[in-house]
Structure 1
Amino acid sequence: MSRWESGQVEPDLETQYSIAAVLGVPATAVRTHLWPDWIPVGERLLVEGAWTQESCFVLFDSTAGDVLLDRRGFVTLATGSAATLAREWQSPAGARDLFDCTAGDLIDSVAARLPLLRDLEDIHGGGRVRVPVATELRFATELLRGADLGSAEARRLFRLCADLCRIAGWASTDTGFLAAAERYFVLGMRAARAGGDRLSGANLLKCMSLLLSENGRPADALALARSAVEGTADGPARVRAMLTVRQARLHAVLGERRRCEELIRRAEGLMERPDDQLCPPWADYFDEAEHAAQVAACYLALGDHQTSDRWLETTTRLQPASRERDGITYRLWRAENATQLGDIELACHHLGKVAPLTHRGSSQRNRARFSAVRRLLHRHRALPPVRTLDEQVAALLA
C-alpha cells in the first residue's frame, strides 16, 4: 500500500479525479469534500442515541445527499445492533400519529412529488430514481432547517423524509449500494419516529430486515421483522398482512416451516378482511398479486418449489403489466423453481423471456438472480434449450 493510500499523504487533484472516476464518484464531490472524506467508504452505521426530533435533524443535516457517495456493496450494521434497533424503535415515544397538519406550499410540493418517485422506483427500479430522490431529500432537509422543531409543519416534514428515505433505501438496495441503503433505512426510522408515524417506521423495519436477510443475516432480520409486526398490532389489516408475511419469509429462510405457515395463514386472514382503516399510500402496492408473490417467496426459501410456483402463477395472473421490475423478479423465481423441478426447457423459457429486460435494466438484484439460475443450469449446458439460452445471453453481452 502506498503512503497516500494509507492516508499519510494527500494525493494531488489529478490523481484524486482519476480515483473518483474509477469509483463512480462525481468530480464535484472531490472539489467540495476534503481528502479522504469523498471516498465512498463511510462510517460504521450507529443505531444508538436519543430518538428525538433534534437528533434526527442533526443526522439528516450531516448525511442527506452524501449517502449517494457510499458505494459499498455490503451491509455494515454491527452484530447485535439489529436487536438494539428493534428495541429502541419500540421504546415509548412522545409523538402520536398525527395526520391533521397544515403546511406551506413548499412542503405541499414535496408531498405532491412523492407518488411519482414512489411509482418510478416500483415500476422501473432504483437506477431511475436514486439521484432525484436524494435531491428531494436534501430539499426537505433544507426546509427542516427553517422549521420550528415540534411544530405541525416539522412533524409533517419528518414523515415525508421517512418516505423519501424508504424510496432512496430501496433504490440503493436495487442498484447494489447496500451500505447506503441501510443508512437510509435507519435514518428513515428516526424520521418516522420524529414525525409520529409508527406505520412508516414499521415499514422501514421491514425493508431493513429484507436487506439483512439477503446479506446473510437472517436472525438479525427476524428481530426487525418481528418488531415491525408487534409495533403495528392496531394498524390497518393490509399493512399487518404485509408485515406478517414478511416475518413468515424470515422463518422460511431459517428453515422453520411450521412457524412460517402459521404466519402465512394469519396474513391470509388479514388479506380477507375489509380495510378497516385508511392505508398509507406506500401500502397500495401490497395487493393480492404481491401477497401471492411473498407467499411464493416463503415456499421458495423452504425448497417447496411446486407450492411456490402455484403461488407465482396467481401472481402472474393478477399483477399489472406496469410492474416490470417485479414481473422480472417473479419470472426468475419461476425459472429457479422449474430448474429445481427438472423442467429445464421451461426454466430456459422463463429466462429467455426476461433476459433482454434484465440486461438493460438497472436492478442489480435481478441480474444476480438471473446469474444464479444460469449457474443452476450449467450442469445441463449440453441440452439444446440451455445452449440456445447461452447464445441469447452472449448476443446481449456482445
Structure 2
Amino acid sequence: MRERREHFGVYLAGLRRARGKSQRQMAALLCDASGTQSVTRTEISRWERGRRVPEVWLPWLAQLLAVPLQEIEQAAAYARGDESARLPGPAASLSALLPEGDPLRATGTVGRRIGATEILDLANRVHALRLADDVLSGGDLIDPTFRELRSALALYRESTFTEDTGRQLLAQIGELGQITGWVASDAGRLADAEHAYRLGLDAARQAGDAPLAGNLAGSLAYQWSNNGREREGAELAEAALRESGPAAPAVARALFSDRVAWAHTRAGKPDSAQAAMRALGEAHAALDEETDGQAPPWAYWVSREELKIMDARVFTELRRPLRAVPLLTDVLSRYDITHARELALYRSWLAVALADANEPEQAAAEAQRVIALAGELSSERTATRTRVVLERLQPFAVVPEVRSVLAEHRHLLHVWPLT
C-alpha cells in the first residue's frame, strides 16, 4: 500500500511541475479555489511523498492541474489499493513499464541495423541524465530516466548489430540502469531502484565491463545500507569492490572503497569503525595513484573534495564531530550552489556533527539551512535527512534557537513531543 501511495505522489508531483508551480504556489491556488486556508506547502509535500491521499481535494487538483477528474480519481483509487485501478502515465512502477520476462532477450525479429552513431547518441543522452541529476531531484528525473531505459532496451531487443556494437549497447544499458536506480531511489521508489540496478548489473556483466558491474553492485549496496539492510549492504559493497577487479581505474576503486567505508559504518558491528577507517584510507590511496588510464564517464564527479565529504559523513556516523565539522565546513564553503540536493544532504551531516559537538545553536542554524534547501526538492533522501536532523536536535529543546526550529518544523516529524 505504501509503495502505491508513493507512486501516486510521484504522479501528482509530476503534474504540478508540468504546470510550472512550486509546492507553495500550489497550496495557495488550492486555498483560493476552495475558499479555505487549510492547505499548506507541507500538506502538498505529504501528498507528493505518499504520506496521504488528498481525497477531498481531488476535484480542485484536477481543475488546477488541467487533467480529467476521472484520471486523478483513478490514480487516487490506485493509491488506496484498488486492484482494478491503474496509475496513469509513466509514474507506474518500472516493472510494469519494461518488457515481460528477460528485458535483455532479443525479440527474434530482424530490425534496423545500428552502429557507432546510435551508440554515441545514446551515450550522450546517458551522460546528459547524469549531469541533470547534479541539479535536479529524483522526482523531477524519474520519468525521463525510465523513458531512456525503456528505449535502450527496445533498441537492443529489436535491432541488429555487430558483436562489438552489442557489447557497447549493453554497457550503455548498464549505465542507464545505474542512473535510473539512483534517481528512483532518490524519489523514494526503492523497489524500482533495485529492479533497475539488477537489470543494469546483468547488462554490465554481459558486456564484460567489470568496473561498471562494480558500480552497479556498489550502488545497490549503498541503498541497502541506508534502508535497513546494513549487513547485506556491507557484504555487497565488499563484493562490488572485488568484482571491479584490480585493473579498475583508480577513480573507480576510490569510489568503491568509499562505499565500503560507508557500508561498514552503517553496519555498526564491533569492528565496523576499524573497517571503515581502513577503507577510507584505501580510497585516498587509490586517488593518489598516478595513472594514465581514462576514468569512466560515470565516475566524473569523484574528486578529493567528495572524498572529504565521505570522510566527514563517516566521522559523523561514528560520533567523531571534532574530525567531521572542519572537513564539512571547509568543503561546503566552496560547494556549487546549484547542487541543492547535495548541499542539503551535506549540511544535514554538519548539523548532526555540531549537535554531537554540543554546539546546539550552530546546529539549529544549519538545520534551518537544510530545511530551506530541502523544501522544494522532490527527494526522499533530503526528506529523510531533515527528519534525522530534527530528531537529533530534540535533546536540546530547551535552547531557544533549537526550540524555535522544532516548533516551526515539528510537522516534518511523525511524532514530536514538544517539552
| Structure with higher RCO (Cα < 8 A, 6+ apart) | 1
TM-score (norm: length of structure 2): 0.71
Q: Which runs of 5+ in 2 are unaligned?
A: 1-70, 108-113, 414-419
Q: In structure 2, which of residues 237, 260, 265 is the aligned counterpart of residue 252 of structure 1?
A: 265
Query: Counterparts of 1:175 and 1:228 in 2: how far apart (Å)?
Result: 24
Residue in 1 that maps onto 2:175? 163
Query: Counterparts of 1:18 and 1:261 in 2: how far apart (Å)?
Result: 47
Q: Per-residue deviation at 1:149?
A: 7.1
Q: Are the equivalent residues in 1 in contact too, given 2:115–2:161 (CA < 8 A)?
A: no
Alpha carbons of structure 1 residues 106 and 219: separation in structure 2 relative to 1, 3 Å = same
The aligned amino acid for 1:292 is K
Residue in 2 that maps onto 1:57? 104
Query: Counterparts of 1:346 and 1:15 in 2: how far apart (Å)?
Result: 46
Query: Counterparts of 1:56 and 1:130 in 2: how far apart (Å)?
Result: 19
Alpha carbons of structure 1 residues 352 and 117: separation in structure 2 relative to 1, 3 Å = same
Q: In structure 2, which of residues 227, 230, 234 is the aligned counterpart of residue 218 of structure 1?
A: 230
Task: Indicate whether 1:235 and 2:259 are aligned.
Answer: no
Task: After superposition, give the CA deviation of every residue in 1:49-89 in whole Å (9 maximum; x if it has no partner).
Answer: xxxxx95613x99xxxxxxxxxxxxxxxxxxxxxxxxxxxx
Residue in 2 that maps onto 1:116? 128
Q: Per-residue deviation at 1:355?
A: 1.6
Task: After superposition, give the CA deviation of every residue in 1:322-350 in whole Å (9 maximum; x if it has no partner).
Answer: 32211111100000111122211101111
Residue in 2 that maps onto 1:8? none
Residue in 2 that maps onto 1:382? 398
Q: Per-residue deviation at 1:141?
A: 1.3
Q: In structure 1, which of residues 340, 343, 352 is the aligned counterpart of residue 356 of structure 2?
A: 340
| Aligned length in residues | 327
Residue in 1 that maps onto 2:45? none
Residue in 2 that maps onto 1:126? 138
- Return structure 1 stretches of 4+ with deviation > 4 angstroms: 13-18, 21-25, 40-43, 394-397
Alpha carbons of structure 1 residues 183 and 309: separation in structure 2 relative to 1, 3 Å = same
Q: Are the equivalent residues in 2 in contact too, given 1:163–1:200 (CA < 8 A)?
A: yes
The aligned amino acid for 2:258 is V
State how 1:340-379 maps to structure 2 within 5 Å: 340-379=356-395
Alpha carbons of structure 1 residues 208 and 18: separation in structure 2 relative to 1, 3 Å = closer
Query: Counterparts of 2:295 and 2:325 in 1: how far apart (Å)?
Result: 29
The aligned amino acid for 1:266 is E
Residue in 2 that maps onto 1:107? 119
Query: Counterparts of 1:149 and 1:124 in 2: how far apart (Å)?
Result: 34
Residue in 1 that maps onto 2:189? 177
Answer with 312-321 or 357-366: which moved more: 312-321
DSSP-derived class of the 1:227 partner: helix
Q: Are the equivalent residues in 1 in contact too, given 2:177–2:196 (CA < 8 A)?
A: yes
Residue in 2 that maps onto 1:35? none
Q: Which runs of 5+ in 1 are unaligned?
A: 1-12, 31-37, 44-53, 62-101
Task: Indicate whether 1:198 and 2:210 are aligned.
Answer: yes
Q: Are the equivalent residues in 1 in contact too, given 2:185–2:223 (CA < 8 A)?
A: yes
Alpha carbons of structure 1 residues 379 and 183: separation in structure 2 relative to 1, 3 Å = same
Q: Are the equivalent residues in 2 in contact too, given 1:249–1:301 (CA < 8 A)?
A: no
How big is the alpha-carbon RMSD for the aligned residues of Structure 1 and Structure 2?
3.1
Alpha carbons of structure 1 residues 250 and 17: separation in structure 2 relative to 1, 3 Å = closer
Q: Are the equivalent residues in 2 in contact too, given 1:244–1:267 (CA < 8 A)?
A: yes
Residue in 2 that maps onto 1:9? none
Query: Counterparts of 2:411 and 2:319 in 1: how far apart (Å)?
Result: 33
